[in-house]
Chain A
Amino acid sequence: MPESDPIINQAFPLPVRSPWGEAWLRLMKNRMAIAGLVCFSAITLLCLLAPWVAPFDPNAQDLLKGPTPPGSSHWFGTDTLGRDLAARTLFGGRISIAVGFAATLVAMTIGVAWGAIAGYSGGWLDSVMMRIVDILYSLPFMIFVILLMTIFERSLLLLFVAIGCVEWLTLSRIVRGQMLQLKTMPYIDAARALGVRRVRLIIRHIIPNLLGPVIIYSTLTVPSVMLLESSLSFLGLGVQPPDSSWGSLINDGAEKMISYPWLLVFPSIFFSLTLFSLNFLGDGLRDALDPKSNSA
Chain B
Amino acid sequence: MFRFLISRLLQTILVLYLIATVVFVMMKAVPGGPFSQERNVSEHILQKLEEQYGLHDPLHVQYAKYMWNITPKRLSPRALLAFDLKEGLGIDFGYSFRYEGRTVNQLIAESLPVSAELGFYALIIAALLGISTGSLAALKQNSSWDHIPMAIVMIGICLPTFVLGPILILVFGFWVPEPFRLPVLFWEPSYDAPWLESLRYRILPAMTLGLYYAAGIARLTRGSMLEVLGQDYIRTARAKGVSPFNVVVKHGLRTGMIPVISYLGPVAAHLITGSFVIEYIFMLPGLGRHLINAALNRDYTLIMGTVLVYAAILILFNFIVDTLLVWLNPRLRLRSNA
Contacts and interface: CB of A to CB of B under 8 A. Distances in A.
A6 B154 contact: no
A2 B332 contact: yes
Contact of B307 (A30, A140, A230, A258): A140
A290 B291 contact: no
Interface string B159-182: 110110011001000000000000
Interface string B214-226: 0000011001101
Contacts of B157: 223-224, 227, 275, 279
Contacts of A5: 262
B258 A6 contact: yes
B17 to A, nearest CB: 10
B26 interface: yes
B158 A11 contact: no
- The A interface is mostly helix, strand or loop, or mixed, namely helix
B77 interface: no
Contact of A271 (B159, B262, B318): B159
Nearest to B23: A139
A235 B332 CA distance: 42
B162 A251 contact: yes
Contact of B19 (A10, A139, A231): A139
- The B interface is mostly helix, strand or loop, or mixed, namely helix
Contacts of B1: none
B129 interface: no
Contacts of A296: 230
B226 A293 contact: yes
Contact of B15 (A135, A223, A272): A135
Interface string A2-21: 11111100110000000000
A235 B26 CA distance: 22
Nearest to B310: A140
Given A3-B335, A6-B258, A150 B19 contact: no
Contacts of A235: 292, 296
Nearest to A8: B259
Contacts of B332: 2, 4, 6
Contacts of B303: 143
Interface string B290-305: 0110111010000100
Contacts of A140: 273, 291, 306-307, 310-311
Contact of B166 (A139, A230, A254): A254
Given A140-B307, A294-B141, A231 B151 contact: no
A139 B160 contact: no
Interface in B285-338: 291-292, 294-296, 298, 303, 306-307, 310-311, 314-315, 318, 322, 325-326, 329, 332, 335-336
A7 B335 CA distance: 16
B154 A279 contact: yes
A250 B30 CA distance: 32
A6 B259 contact: yes
Contacts of A151: 30-32
Contacts of B167: 257
A154 interface: no
Given A10-B224, A257-B170, A142 B295 contact: yes
Which of B19, B159, B298, B307 has the most chain A CB within a 10 Å cutoff? B159
Contacts of A29: 142
A250 B318 CA distance: 35
B163 A294 contact: no
B227 to A, nearest CB: 5
Contacts of B223: 7, 11, 286
B226 A287 contact: yes
Given A250-B163, A279-B158, A6 B277 contact: no
A138 interface: yes
Nearest to A278: B158
Contact of A142 (B158, B276, B314, B335): B276
A7 B224 contact: yes
Contact of B219 (A3, A6, A283, A295): A283
A189 interface: no
Interface string A265-296: 00010011001100100010011001011111
A287 B227 CA distance: 10
Nearest to A138: B311
B227 A290 contact: yes
A193 B155 CA distance: 51
A7 B259 CA distance: 5
A167 to B, nearest CB: 15
Interface of A: 1-7, 10-11, 29-32, 131, 134-135, 137-140, 142-144, 146-147, 150-151, 223-224, 227, 230-231, 234-235, 247, 250-251, 253-254, 257-258, 264, 268, 271-272, 275-276, 279, 283, 286-287, 290, 292-296
12 contacts: A5-B262, A7-B224, A7-B263, A30-B142, A137-B266, A138-B15, A139-B22, A139-B23, A140-B307, A142-B276, A283-B219, A294-B229
List 3 A-B pairs, minimum CB-CB distance, nearest first. A7-B259, A275-B158, A146-B295
Interface of B: 15, 18-19, 22-23, 26, 30-32, 138, 141-142, 147, 151, 154-155, 157-160, 162-163, 166-167, 170, 219-220, 223-224, 226-227, 229-231, 258-259, 262-263, 266, 273, 276-277, 291-292, 294-296, 298, 303, 306-307, 310-311, 314-315, 318, 322, 325-326, 329, 332, 335-336
